[in-house]
């Protein structure tokens, strides 16, 4: 069975943490591929900073030199809002031959009980949890309310990087450098198109 890691997000803009987490998961779990899942309409936020066509182009530029990385349009080509559990259910229906590994930060595992239908979600994929600075988690932390979760969680070590797209955007708007935080091709695209000004 093929093993595919999933990295979801708005990628507004994509940055080095997205890529490093994907790379470490690919290597640590010996996955066959990583699919990035850009969200067109985030259910928990009022909107995005730039339209989806810009975010897609930036993500394509960010992963262009990594053949194991690709973009899934599953949350772009259907009406929202998009909840992770619905996305995973559709992916499983479309690709029953694939075992999916949903990659998340430790803060996401901490908040998992507040996600939409977490019990259903954990039965659709493995949850690959990356360390995040200042967040302490364990596979069995929600076992009382989500029985069996500890068998679906894989915690792997990764560099303790702690940049967010919000912080990247704030630096751009303040005229500060984001070199080495976003890939050079993405930074060039941002400048050429006057994004995040």
Nearest Cα to Cα of residue 37 among 108, 3, 1, 85? 85
Q: Are 130 and 18 in contact (CB under 8 A)?
A: no
Grade residue 80 by pLDDT with cuts at 50, 70 and 90: confident
Grade residue 79 by pLDDT with cuts at 50, 70 and 90: confident
Show Cβ contacts of residue 170 under 8 Å, excluding neighbours closer than 6 positions. Answer: none
Grade residue 44 by pLDDT with cuts at 50, 70 and 90: low
For the CA atoms of 158, 65, 10, 197, the dihedral, rounded to the nearest 10 degrees, stands at: 110
Task: Write phi, then psi, for 112 (nearest 5 degrees).
Answer: -50, -40
Show Cβ contacts of residue 27 under 8 Å, excluding neighbours closer than 6 positions. Answer: none
Instruction: Check residue 126 and give its pLDDT.
Output: 98
Digit-coded pLDDT (tens) for 184-196: 999 999 999 999 9
Sequence ranges of the domains in the chain:
2-192
Instruction: Check residue 46 and give its pLDDT.
Output: 57
In this predicted structure, the answer to whether residue 176 has a pLDDT above a threshold of 90 is: yes
Mean pLDDT of the chain: 92
Q: What percent of the chain has pLDDT over 90?
A: 77
In this predicted structure, the answer to whether residue 45 has a pLDDT above a threshold of 60 is: no
Digit-coded pLDDT (tens) for 129-168: 987 777 889 999 999 999 999 999 999 987 767 778 889 9
Grade residue 47 by pLDDT with cuts at 50, 70 and 90: low
SS3 assignment for the chain: CEEEEEEEECCCCCCHHHHHHHHHHHHHCCCCEEEEEECCCCCCCCCCCCCHHHHHHHHHHHHCCCCCEEECCCCCCCCCCCCHHHHHHHHHHHCCCEEEEEEEEHHHHHCHHHCCCHHHHHCCCEEEEECECCECCCCCCCCCCCCCHHHCEEEECCCCCCCCHHHHHHHHHCCCCCECCECHHHHHHHHHCCCCC
The domain 2-192 is placed in CATH, from the list 3.10.330.20, 3.40.50.620, 3.40.50.300, 2.60.40.1220, at 3.40.50.620
Q: What percent of the chain has pLDDT over 70?
A: 95
C-beta atoms surrounding 38 within 10 Å: 24
Instruction: Check residue 49 and give its pLDDT.
Output: 82
């Amino acid at each position: 069975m093929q093993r595919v890691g999933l990295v979801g997000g708005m990628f507004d803009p994509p940055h080095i943490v997205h890529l490093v987490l994907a790379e470490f998961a690919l290597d640590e779990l010996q996955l066959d591929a990583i699919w990035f899942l850009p969200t067109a309409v985030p259910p928990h936020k009022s909107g995005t900073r730039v339209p989806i066509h810009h975010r897609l182009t930036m993500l394509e530029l960010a992963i262009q030199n990594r053949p194991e990385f690709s973009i899934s349009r599953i949350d772009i080509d259907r009406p929202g809002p998009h909840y992770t559990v619905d996305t995973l259910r559709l992916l499983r229906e479309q690709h029953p031959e694939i075992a999916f590994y949903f990659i998340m930060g430790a803060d996401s595992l901490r908040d998992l009980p507040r996600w939409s239908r977490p019990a259903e979600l954990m039965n659709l994929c493995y949850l690959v949890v990356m360390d995040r600075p200042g967040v302490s988690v364990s596979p069995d932390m929600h076992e009382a309310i989500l029985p069996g979760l500890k068998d679906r969680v894989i915690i792997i070590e990764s560099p303790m990087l702690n940049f967010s797209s919000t912080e990247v955007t704030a630096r751009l708007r303040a005229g500060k450098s984001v070199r080495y935080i976003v890939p050079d091709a993405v930074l060039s695209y941002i400048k050429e198109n006057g994004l995040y000004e």
